[in-house]
Structure 1
Amino acid sequence: MSSSLSSGTAPRVAPAGTASLAERIQGSVLLPGQGGYREEKAVYNTALEHRPALVVAAASAEDVRTAVAFAAEHGMAVAVQATGHGAAAPAIDTLMISTRRMSGVEIDPDRRTALVQAGALWQDVIDAAAPHGLAPLNGSSPGVGVVGYTLGGGLGLMSRTHGYAADHVLSIDLVTASGEETTATPDRHPDLFWALRGGKGNFGVVTAMEFGLFPVPNVYAGALILPGRSASEAMLAWRAWTADCPEEMTSSLALLRLPDAPPIPEPLRGRLSVALRFVHLGSPQHGERLVAPFRAMEPIVDTVREMSYTDIASVYSDPVAPTPYRQRCIMLDGLGDDGVRTMVELAGPDSDCTDMIVELRHLGGALSRPPRVPSAVGRRDATFTLTTLSEVPAGAGPGADPGEGALLERMRVHYAGRRFINFLSGPDASDLTREAFDADTYSRLVRVKSHYDPNNIFRANHNIAPEPEHV
């Protein structure tokens, strides 16, 4: 047992109470101003600054249970963090539970499943599954936490073939607002199991999760990057190509504006480029035929090749260093010529846009089919996601970037009525949570929230508030 309870900013509870908590925690209890506090609360998305009253660096599910019970006893909100990629609200005067030390991963190759603890990253699972020829349904960045990604649905690199990551969850261990440890499955607490898969961290602190893996020894994958002047041509070609694309192919198109500095490759520095990303689960020969039309457009970078799934991070090459950004997303019913013209006008080579990344991800395939066990993940009839990523100053206030706001507003002619919750991050993202669900789904989520967290202890997140009479 370790703790850091010397001098520092006073917590919301009496020092004696905090010391008592530290005595019962296997991990650490950290207060503002003490060594390790700043590092433990640090986020990947530095547009948000957390200022919790205290941090519990949990080492076990029992630590989580003890911390939640302590917060409830002292009337504190609970924030949970593994990596901080998807941070949606600043955690102010909360008890923050850091799960990054709970990073265990167990692979069952016979059942093709993984059992992971709350702080595991996707790279942990990829590396553990690969020796068995298996792979998880991770996203573009293997540095993202497994639990937060999956609770938001999980739109990944093999999604058109296998669906959302949430579709393949088998069980979820968690601590509820009452401090009770429980397990949600399709047969045990089915309403909670439904809500957790899509409703993010509103219903408890997940301590472990079991989910399915897939046989994927190798993939044909990578990126073709074209000069920015090709934006309109590439977008029109890619849109037509996706119309009859096989489900074995998951792809995206992004208009990239990257910094004029290392480690960005020289041809991409400080200028617009068009990135086409592909992950194909069929034969390399079939994959090569599929991407041939885009290779004919003379890309300035070509990394598409057969690769081990352990190299899958190279497809997107997402930045590793923390950065301040705002991410927004809408789901599109389709993408007509007017939509392409709008995107090129507002984010293309002749636009005034200087620092915004715009990405389209192709949906459909297995994403369009309902899962065997229903979940709160919705809008399975959408064709694309449209995501914007804007760099913002650290600690920036709410409100969209002008270019980002103009683009999303103009694209509402194709707006399918909802957002994708995992692609809402940064200042004021929590305010958009309701728009990620249809009315019936949101009402059901509120009812589940009212039952399991009537006092809204878990509110430093993409918050779903309980019914007013429960607060």
Structure 2
Amino acid sequence: MLSVSDETTEAPVDHTAQRIVFRPDDAGYEAEIAGMQTGFAMRPDLVVGAESADDVVAAVAYAAGAGLPVGVQATGHGVPGPSEGGVLISTRRMDSVRIDPGARTAAIGAGARWGQVVEAAVEHGLAPLNGTAPSVGAVGYTLGGGLGILGREFGYAADHVRSVDVVTGDGVLRHVTRDSDPELFWGLLGGGAQLGVVTELEIGLVPVARLYGGALTFDGRAVDPAAVLRGYEEWTRTLPDTVTSSLAALVYPELPHLPPQLRGSYLVLIRVAFTGSEAEGERLVAPLREIGPTVSDTLREMPYAESPSIHGDPDFPHAFYGDNAVLSTLDVDAAGDILALTGPSATAMHILQLNHLGGALARPAENAVPYREAGWLLRLLSPLDGADVEEHRKVHAEAFGLVAPQTLGRSLNFVFGGSDRPQGLYDPETRKRLAGLKATYDPANLFRHNHSVE
């Protein structure tokens, strides 16, 4: 760690002086750029460990003065892809969470994780519209839309944002609301990090203290995975909006650090979250239990604080490549072919996930989250440890090609390492509006180390 002085940079004015700064040869540089994603390296020339909005303003001003691109990272889950040079603003220290129980809101710092927000909210019988993994950065996830475990009932996390504090490309810290600047507010929510660096946002909470949820796990070698998929899809046609669910399928590798019962196993999981009563939840999931025998059934009533157990996402750094397709409808036969393509016969591990959309996710909102008419989200996540990313890309291309007729586009939140393929992140009209905002608030395209429109 060091403090930059005017003598250590070619920029005419170094606004980052006397702040937490790292260069590649400094002790602490590697730790500062490290995050959940280890498969795609971000190697900035300068890392600013921001502790406040003033630090972010200084970092953006420095980058603008030096003509350097800017990236931003809180937890490192959604790294767009490899990058060299420029300035990285690390917001992990800005992790404050303030709950206003009367207003049912949370003020969330740029580096706070969803687990922190959930922990603070449940003390007041409230819940945020968080994603499945407590280790994910809450602000970055919300700026990408924020598909949560209660999404079909309450919509995207972005739909509940009240205000955004953001440093735009001119180095100005702005407090943006729907009333103060409706167009910028619209673009920040769904547009990701391409219009500026968000330092804090205020978001609405929902009065949920408990839920009925968990997972049914089927042995994919004993029960036909295609039959599980078909039974699941048929089940979703009958559901009220208060049920949010997904299906996942994966083959565990033969690795010594895994429990013996998981090594080489092929599992198909159906995950459920429902805010109604336990008795009604049991009635609703009864058709799923009739699909076939399970190796695990964790469906139960639980306090909202235990909701991360529904998906059990990993909380340790690892290398992964991922992409997705937002689908108008689900072609069950095509999805079954993708199950076969990514299942036990595949030469590498792939995790397939289908998210059932609709409900409140389909309701119009004044933000840039696209493809609200979609019925499904198909996701593929492929670990990179010992695997070739180009081989993964070939499998993904074949898989997504099978559902091309139903594909509307892609979800920004679930593009991992795919910055080389920006197509489909927005529909044409949304992309046009974002490009106009980009020209106004970041004409030099400083924030091009994030997913960015031209």
TM-score for both structures, normalised by structure 1: 0.91
Report the counterpart of residue 25 of structure 2 in structure 1.
Answer: 33
- 1:317 equivalent to 2:309? Answer no
SS in 1 for 2:420: helix
Structural mapping, 1:71-470, within 5 Å: 71-229=63-221, 230=223, 231-261=225-255, 264-296=258-290, 297-349=292-344, 351-371=345-365, 374-393=366-385, 400-415=392-407, 417-426=408-417, 429-465=418-454
- In the alignment, the residues of structure 2 paired with residue 124 and residue 398 of structure 1 have an alpha-carbon distance, to the nearest angstrom, of 36
Task: Name the CA distance, whole Å, in 2 between partners of 1:179 and 1:29.
Answer: 18
What do the CA deviations read for 1:266-288 (whole angstroms, capped 9, x no partner)?
Answer: 43322211011111111111111
Mapped pair 1:15 → 2:8: yes
Change (3 A) 1:76 1:398: farther
- For the residues of structure 2 that align with 1:262 and 1:217, how far apart are their CA atoms? 39
For the residue of structure 1 that corresponds to 2:84, the secondary structure is coil
CA gap of 1:99–1:209, structure 2 versus 1, over 3 A, is: same
Q: 1:375 to 1:146 in 2, by over 3 A?
A: same
Instruction: Tell me the secondary structure at the aligned position of residue 385 of structure 1.
Output: strand
Code of the aligned partner of 1:439: P
Write the deviation string for residues 323-359 of structure 1: whole angstroms up to 9, x where unpaired. Answer: 111111001122234224322331345x335301111
Q: Which amino acid in the other structure matches residue 414 of structure 2?
A: F
Aligned length: 450
Q: More displaced, 13-22 or 50-59?
A: 13-22
CA contact (8 A) 1:47 1:396 kept: no
Change (3 A) 1:168 1:394: farther
Distance 1:311 1:211, change over 3 A: same
For each residue in 1:142-195, what CA deviation from the matched residue of structure 2 results, as whole angstroms up to 9, or x when unmatched? Answer: 100011100100011000000000001010001111110101110112111111
2:2 partner letter: S
Aligned partners of 1:394 and 1:42: how far apart in 2?
19
2: CA distance, partners of 1:221 / 1:385: 20
Q: How many angstroms apart in 1 are the aligned matches of 2:65 and 2:3?
A: 20
Q: Does the 8 Å contact 1:5/1:31 carry over to 2?
A: no
- Contact 2:16–2:58 at 8 Å: present in 1 too? no
Residue identity in the other structure for 1:162: F
Give per-residue Cα distances to partners, 1:70-114, cap 9 Å, x unaligned: 111111111100011011133311111100000000000011000
Q: Helix, strand or coil: the match of 1:68?
A: helix
Residue identity matched to 1:77: P
Counterpart residue type for residue 225 of structure 1: T
* Counterpart residue type for residue 337 of structure 2: T
Q: Is the 8 A contact 1:342 1:411 kept in 2?
A: no
In the TM superposition, what is the alpha-carbon distance from 1:258 to its structure 2 partner? 2.2
Distance 1:379 1:22 in 2: 40
Q: CA deviation at 1:397?
A: 6.2
Output the amino acid matched with 2:435. V
Does the aligned pair in 1 maintain the 2:44–2:84 contact within 8 Å?
Answer: yes
Moved more, 191-200 or 253-262: 253-262
**Match in the other structure for 1:469:** none
1:461 alignment partner AA: N
The Cα of 1:244 is off from its aligned counterpart by 1.6
| 2: CA distance, partners of 1:395 / 1:65 | 40
Q: Deviations over 1:412-461 (max 9, x none)?
A: 1322x2111111112xx123334121111101110100100000000101
Q: 1:454 to 1:133 in 2, by over 3 A?
A: same
Question: Is the contact made by 1:346 and 1:407 (CA closer than 8 Å) also made in structure 2?
Answer: yes
In structure 2, distance between residues paired with 1:153 and 1:268? 33
Distance 1:335-1:23 versus aligned 2 partners, 3 A rule = closer
Aligned CA distance change for structure 1 residues 408 and 14 (closer, same or farther; 3 Å): farther
What's the Cα RMSD here? Answer: 2.1
Q: Which amino acid aligns with 1:271?
A: S
In 1, distance between residues paired with 2:36 and 2:380? 17
Secondary structure at the counterpart of residue 429 of structure 2: helix
Distance (Å, rounded) in 2 between the aligned partners of 1:340 and 1:16: 53
Instruction: Check whether the contact 1:59–1:101 (CA below 8 A) recurs between aligned residues.
Output: yes
Tell me the residue number matched to 1:468: none
**Contact map agreement 1:353 1:403 (CA 8 A) in 2:** no
C-alpha distance 71-217 of structure 1, shift in aligned 2 (>3 A) = same
Question: Matches of 2:324 and 2:111 in 1, distance apart?
Answer: 26
Cα distance in 2 for partners of 1:353, 1:298 equals 28
The one-letter code of the counterpart of 2:409 is R
* Letter in structure 2 aligned against 1:15: T
Given that 1:48 and 1:394 are in contact with CA atoms closer than 8 Å, whether structure 2 keeps it comes out as no
2:2 counterpart of 1:4: yes
- Alignment partners' CA distance in 1, 2:233 and 2:257: 31
| CA distance, structure 1, for counterparts of residue 82 and residue 410 of structure 2 | 21
Distance 1:207 1:259 in 2: 40
SS at 1:226 equivalent:
strand
SS of equivalent residue, structure 1 residue 267: coil
Question: Percent of pairs identical after alignment?
Answer: 42
